[in-house]
Every structure is written in structure tokens, then in C-alpha cells.
Amino acid sequence: MINDTISDFFTRIRNASLICRDTVRVSKTKTNQSLVRILAHHGFITSFIILDRSLVLKLTKNQQKQTNIVQIQRLSRPGCRLYVNFKKIPRIYGKLGLILLSTSYGILSDREASNLKIGGEIIGFIT
């Protein structure tokens, strides 16, 4: 049984990216579905398929047949939560990276949270 589904989600994507896999299968939870939709909107995932108990993700590749995901990491953990105000949301390499936040409006990217002027818990980042 997996206690932290977000860490498992990030680990599966990171491992698939490191070995240049085209697809990844992750568990189907509401949190993972929200994360997948954000990653697809920002171009890190080409497409995804929702099955009974899992999600199948197709990772975006560049011209050298490598995935666009360079680094993906969980920042806030169940034992140590990180909360930020919308004014103090960190930026990663200008607009090349993406911070994922859990807010009262659901899971949002750093750009969406800044536009709505809301803060929340930093889930992690992806570059």
C-alpha cells in the first residue's frame, strides 16, 4: 500500500524520464488526475488515458528523443509541509519550470495561483 501517492507519482515519472520511456502508468487518484491535467496543459505530457485503476501518460519528447522533463521533485512532504503566500511563490528558471501548489481552488500551477492571487502548499516542482 502506498502512503504518499504524490511522491509515488513523481518517482514513476522521474524514473521513466531517466530511462527515456514513452509511457508511464500511475495510480488513478483525484490528486494525480489534477496533476496530470496541469502537466498536459503546460506541455510536459503529450496525452493521457484514464483506465479503471490507473492513468497511462505519454511523455513529451524533444528532437533528441529525450523527454522534456529534466527534474521533478516533491518539496512538501506529509511530515514537513511548506506553505507560501502568493507574493512569495518561487520562480524556477523564469518560465521554464513549473511549481505545483495545492490551494483552496484545487491543485494549480504557480502562474495560475499568482493570477488568482492565492497561496497554498507547495507540492513540488518540475523543469
| Domain 5-59 CATH class label | alpha beta
CATH topology of domain 72-126: Dna Ligase; domain 1 (3.30.1490)
The pLDDT of residue 66 is: 73
- pLDDT, greater one: 36 or 95: 36
User: Per-residue pLDDT for 2 more than 80?
Assistant: no
**Residue-range domain boundaries for the chain:** 5-59, 72-126
3-class SS letters over 32-80: HHHHHHHHHHCCCEEEEEECCCEEEEEECECCCCCECCCCEEECCECCE
Confidence of residue 68 (pLDDT cuts 50, 70, 90): confident
The pLDDT of residue 76 is: 93
User: Per-residue pLDDT for 94 more than 70?
Assistant: no
The pLDDT of residue 1 is: 59
- pLDDT, greater one: 24 or 66: 24
**pTM assigned to the model:** 0.90
Neighbours of 69 (CB within 10 A): 19
pLDDT in tens, 42-67: 989 999 999 999 999 999 887 777 77
